[in-house]
Amino acid sequence: MIDAQKKQLVVGLDIGTMKISVVIGEISKKGINIVGIGESKSKGIEKGFVNNLKLVTNCLKKALFQAELVSKCKIKSAYVTLSNKYIDSKNEIGIIPISKNKVNKNDINHIIHTASSIKIDNDYQIIHIIPQEYSIDQQIGIKNPMGLRGKRMEANVHIITCHNNILENIQYATKKNGIVIDKFIFSGIASGKAVLTDEEKNLGVCMLDIGAGTIDITIYIYGYLYYSKVIPYAGNMVTNDISYAFSISITEAEHIKIKYGHADLSKIPKNKNLKILDTQGNVFSHITMEKLTEVIEARYIELLSLVQSEIEIAERKLKNKNHSAELKSGIVITGNASQIKSLTTCSYNVFNKKIRIGFPLNTDNEKSILSIPKYSTAVGLLHYGKKKIEQNQNVKNTNTLLNKYFKKLYNWLYKEF
């Protein structure tokens, strides 16, 4: 079995409420070639955090085994996703004088360090420091200040934090399976890497990753991440509603949702009965498409309305900074729960914006099983790892000399681009 670290392979590990996915990608000049996939039903995870370590560890073991078997590679490290209500974010500003009146790498590292030197709760740690834009003297909106001249530089950064307990529990489960975590990645960022285009980010876009337990929200303007949020309610709420409304099990409700579910009542013929069999072979004659859709649509409208409230918060903050709050690229929706029929119509009724369903982009084998929304996060992790490999090679090729103080910070920061 080949050691994954000895080839140009990247491993993404998406630990979700519904499933655990392991994806192995080989880096090529054309993009990413998927060479291994493993998946297991998730147990011991609720709304993105661990509530049973033993179950999570065993489920992870199954997914890793499948991926290694298919790829014939031994996995030793992986990029791992995070999505839970204990993820927090904020925008911060750093200001420094420019050394020698010309911006160099140390100046950039210094100002990012200054902007991120904020007091956070002792129970939390920073997982992302993402540069947004720079200003030099009177010039604003600078994306790359390297080499520019001036006396004073200001940087805006987006900082994402997560509770230590969440990180430690996931680290325990991965360590028990012999996996070192390359980096924790907020799921919303990973999915954005897979489904959003640069043009959408530049024009302004809101991406929703709707999973089983959480909805990840990321808002991009002028090409950078401005706002991120996790809503701890998602697809499982819809399943629970179906179970309650028709007095059936969660398993049966999930099956019905996937096979017959619609999120827009106007698309459904009236008085159409569903002949659905339970595990004993009994027909649920009391379930009609109309009633089922009423239940599903109502919950999706409620979930999307929670998102709309977050968008309005972000828009107010942007207007207070005299920035355009218009999301010209609209809303991009991905994740497992985005696959419900008629979601685009339902979403448009809530947001009154352009809507599209986000599918993973830029893999060599785009017609593979991974080219569906439920794998967006896992594929996004591979794009993250690909960028790191390329930047590592650039650092070696240019033989960049960084002092010890900034090297650790630099290694952290370049993963964010």
Does residue 229 lie in a domain region? yes
CA angle, residues 289, 276, 45, in degrees to nearest 5: 90
Q: Which of 58-72, 142-156, 309-323 has the lowest mean pLDDT?
A: 309-323
273 and 356 assigned to the same domain: yes
232 and 156 assigned to the same domain: no
pLDDT at 141 over 60: yes
69 vs 3, more confident: 69
pLDDT at 3 over 80: no
Does residue 314 lie in a domain region? yes
CATH number of the domain encompassing residue 100: 3.30.1490.110
93 and 203 assigned to the same domain: no
pLDDT at 417 over 50: no
Asked if 185 contacts 81 with a C-beta cutoff of 8 angstroms, the reply is yes
254 and 333 assigned to the same domain: yes
Angstrom distance (rounded) from CA 368 to CA 262: 25
* Closest of 205, 208, 240, 239 to residue 223, by C-alpha: 205
206 and 266 assigned to the same domain: yes
254 and 311 assigned to the same domain: yes
> What's the number of domains the chain is made of?
2
Does residue 306 lie in a domain region? yes
277 and 135 assigned to the same domain: no
* Closest of 322, 381, 326, 333 to residue 357, by C-alpha: 333
pLDDT score at 279 = 63
CATH number of the domain encompassing residue 265: 3.30.420.40
pLDDT at 415 over 60: no
pLDDT digits (tens, 9 = 90+) for 220-237: 999 999 999 999 999 999
Does residue 315 lie in a domain region? yes
Does residue 388 lie in a domain region? no
299 and 154 assigned to the same domain: no
Angstrom distance (rounded) from CA 83 to CA 231: 9
Can you give the C-alpha Rg of the chain in angstroms?
Answer: 23
Does residue 408 lie in a domain region? no
**Domain-ending residue, one of 163, 186, 212:** 163
Tokens 């630990």, located at residue: 15
Q: What is the mean pLDDT of the chain?
A: 89
CA angle, residues 41, 35, 77, in degrees to nearest 5: 70
pLDDT digits (tens, 9 = 90+) for 269-327: 877 888 776 667 767 667 889 999 999 999 999 999 999 999 999 999 988 877 777 89
Angstrom distance (rounded) from CA 192 to CA 159: 16
Does residue 121 lie in a domain region? yes
212 and 338 assigned to the same domain: yes
230 and 325 assigned to the same domain: yes
**Domain-ending residue, one of 163, 187, 222:** 163
Which residue range is the domain that position 353 belongs to? Answer: 198-360
Q: What are phi and psi of 8, to 5 degrees?
A: -85, 70
Does residue 91 lie in a domain region? yes
202 and 348 assigned to the same domain: yes
* Confidence band of 405 (pLDDT split at 50, 70, 90): very low
**Domain-ending residue, one of 314, 333, 360:** 360
102 and 222 assigned to the same domain: no
Q: How many CB atoms lie within 10 A of CB 387?
A: 17
Asked if 366 contacts 36 with a C-beta cutoff of 8 angstroms, the reply is no
